[in-house]
Amino acid sequence: MALSTTFWIQLLGIIFGAGMMYFTFVKYKRKELNKTECLVWFAGWILLISLAVKPSSLDFFIGRLKFHRRLDFFVVLGFFVLLGLGFFNYSTVKKMERKLERYVRKEAIEEAIEKKTERIAK
């Protein structure tokens, strides 16, 4: 009995989702994620596993959106998610850069004042 390609994709989806749930749990235990973040990620991984097990559950939405195949829907959805995450990462990095720049400037000014005060005191 030969196993279909769909079976292997479903199996990989389940393994990936379970692995990511484990890594999410480890990050939570290390206090790198708070409880809310952990629950949101767990919900996402459970949704992924559910869709891997029963992809036909999306047929109602896929039909209404006029997609011909489920794969087309997942490709478009994945593209949107990646674009959204990319924008979120970009804006977070920019915010951190501004904070770091302010901190470095403040430290440099304080150090310069300290050195000048030491020279005057000598």
pTM of the shown model: 0.68
What pLDDT is attached to residue 77? 87
Residue 12's contacts (CB-CB under 8 Å, 6 or more residues apart) are: 52
Reported as a single tens digit per residue, the pLDDT across 14-41 is 999 999 999 999 999 999 999 999 999 9
Reported as a single tens digit per residue, the pLDDT across 67-94 is 888 888 888 888 999 999 999 999 999 9
| HEC letters along 71-106 | HHHHHHHHHHHHHHHHHHHHHHHHHHHHHHHHHHHH
3-state helix, strand, coil in the chain (%, to 5): 85, 0, 15
For residue 99, pLDDT beyond 90 = yes
What pLDDT is attached to residue 79? 93
Please state whether 54 falls in left (phi above 0), alpha (psi between -120 and 50) or beta.
beta
Per-residue confidence band for 9, with pLDDT thresholds at 50, 70 and 90? confident
What pLDDT is attached to residue 1? 60
Using alpha carbons, list the distances in angstroms from residue 92 to 32, 86, 88, 103: 17, 10, 6, 17
